[in-house]
């Protein structure tokens, strides 16, 4: 476990499209660092199952619920000991815009943006963002393997479009130090070279822009479908 004095990034966020392995890595990092986890509360959004069946009809209600839910969670963190404890989260508040821009009509987006601009200044900025990506087939296998009922109606084309939107967003992201990892052939469920490399970046503050080449050269085996 990293010592208190060596911990350079106290608030770490892991991001990426659904099924890419965010929550797995969050739990591993929190366990190794002796920190706490802050997880996105998908199951509590009552509009989500309907959204996956009819995105157009339920886009605004789904998006506004997520925005306010994430903000309330961030408010609790800000009032507590966010900067006194190591915290690892599986979402970046700012990424909410990725979904909004992808799913909302222009008049809906205008309403959303007004609310987002009021809330955003009150949210803490992470010390490090880890962006996970994987190829489309791998993501779809992982989604199917975990068998969440509300995910089974997802349109594969929407997931592919969402993954591309994530890549575009993080290509220009400059809100915090950013580490990008291709998880197509990386399994974070056990202690591995991949996890050790991520922990090194988190604890030393020496963050390469991309970790893919280092992980591939270390001979990582293909990840299992349920990651």
Average pLDDT over residues 183-212: 79
Structural domain for 16, as ranges:
9-217
**132 within some domain:** yes
Which uninterrupted H or E stretch holds 179? Answer: strand 178-182
From CA 58, how far away is CA 63, in angstroms rounded?
A: 8
Residues 59-80: pLDDT tens digits?
999 999 999 999 998 887 777 6
- CATH number at 99 reads 3.40.50.300
**pTM for the structure as a whole:** 0.84
> Is the separation of the CB atoms in 49 and 150 below 8 Å?
yes
Reduce the DSSP state of residue 180 to 3 states and report it.
strand
**4 within some domain:** no
Say how many domains are in the chain.
1
Mind spelling out the 3-state secondary structure of 150-174?
HHCCCCHHHHHHHHHHHHHHHHCCC
* Distance in angstroms between the alpha carbons of the first and the last residue of the chain: 23
Residues 109-152: pLDDT tens digits?
999 999 999 999 999 899 999 999 999 999 999 988 887 777 77
């Amino acid at each position: 476990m990293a010592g208190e004095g060596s911990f350079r990034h106290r608030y770490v966020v892991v991001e990426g499209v659904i099924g890419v392995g965010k929550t797995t890595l969050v739990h591993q990092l929190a366990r190794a660092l002796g920190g706490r986890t802050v997880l996105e509360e998908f199951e509590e959004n009552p509009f989500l199952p309907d959204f996956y069946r009819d995105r157009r009809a339920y886009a605004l209600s789904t998006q506004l619920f997520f925005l306010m839910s994430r903000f309330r969670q961030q408010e609790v963190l800000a009032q507590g000991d966010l900067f006194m404890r190591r915290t690892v989260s599986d979402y970046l508040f700012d990424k909410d815009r990725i979904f909004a821009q992808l799913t909302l009509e222009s008049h809906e987006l205008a309403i959303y943006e007004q609310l987002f601009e009021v809330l955003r200044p009150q949210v803490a900025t992470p010390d490090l963002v880890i962006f996970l990506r994987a190829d489309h087939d791998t993501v779809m296998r992982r989604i199917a393997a975990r068998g969440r009922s509300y995910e089974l109606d997802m349109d594969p084309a929407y997931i592919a479009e969402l993954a591309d939107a994530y890549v575009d967003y993080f290509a220009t992201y400059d809100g915090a130090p950013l580490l990008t990892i291709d998880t197509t052939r990386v399994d974070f469920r056990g202690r591995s070279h991949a996890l050790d490399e991520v922990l090194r970046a988190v604890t030393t503050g020496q963050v390469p822009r991309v970790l893919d080449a280092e992980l591939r050269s270390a001979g990582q085996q293909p990840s299992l479908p349920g990651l």
